[in-house]
Amino acid sequence: MNKTVLITGATSGIGLGCARKFAENGDRLILTGRNAEKLEAIKRELEEKGSQVLTLVFDVRDRAAATEAIESLPEQWRDIDVLVNNAGLALGLEPEYEGDYEDWETMIDTNIKGLLIMTRLVVPRMVARNSGHVINIGSVAGDAAYAGGNVYCATKSAVKALTDGLRIDVADTAVRVTNLKPGLVETNFSNVRFHGDHERADKVYQGIKPLTGDDIADVAVFAANAPEHVQVAEVLVLATHQASGSVIVRK
C-alpha cells in the first residue's frame, strides 16, 4: 500500500535521495526545507514522473514555523505514515576548546531540537492510529567521537539515544522506529561543514569511493517496507574502505 512520507531537509543529499526513492516506490511525499525554489524544482521533477508531492518551507529549528506548517496540511495529508528526520548538518572541525559558539548552537538546534520538534508534531497521530514509522538519520559519528567532531558527534549520539528512547516509548504500539547511520556520504555535507570551502570539502572524499544519498535512501525505503512485524531498529552503512568514523583507507 502506498504511504505518505514526510522528509525533512529534502532539497539535497540524503533527503533528496529519499524523496526520489520513495517516489519510485509509489509513495506520496511531503517535502520540507528552507529553500522554496529548490523544493519547487524537486516537486516539478517528481510530479512529471507521476508522484504526488506537497512542499512545506520552514526551518526545523523554528518550532512556531514547524507547527504552523504541519497544522496547515490538508486533512487528506495529515496521516503521515513515514517521518524521515533527515535535516541535519556539521559545522567546523576545530578542537572543542576552540569551537565556534554559533556553529555549536546551529548543530544542536538542528540535529537534536529540530528532530525532537518534528517527532513531537507528527508521532502523536501515528500513536493514535497505531501505525507509522519514524526513520531518524543518525551517523557513524554517533557511535564514537573522532578528531574535531566533538559537538557534531555529540548531536548524533543524542540522535541514537532519542531514537532508542522513542522506540521504547512506542513499544506498546505498532509504530516502528529506525536509526539509520551513514558513514562517508558524498553530498554537500562537507561544503557546509567547511563553510563553502570546496577545495577542502573535496579532499574528504579523495582516495575512496564514498556512499551516495541514494545508497542511504535505498536502506530507508527497505526499512519502511519491511513486513509489519519486522522493525529495522538500527543500521550502520559504511563505504567499503571505511571501518569506523575515524578509520578510512584511501587508495
Active site residues: 152
Burial class of residue 76 in the structure, from the number of CB atoms within 10 Å of its CB (0-12 exposed, 13-18 middle, 19+ buried): exposed
Q: How many CA atoms lie within 13 A of 110 on its CB side?
A: 22
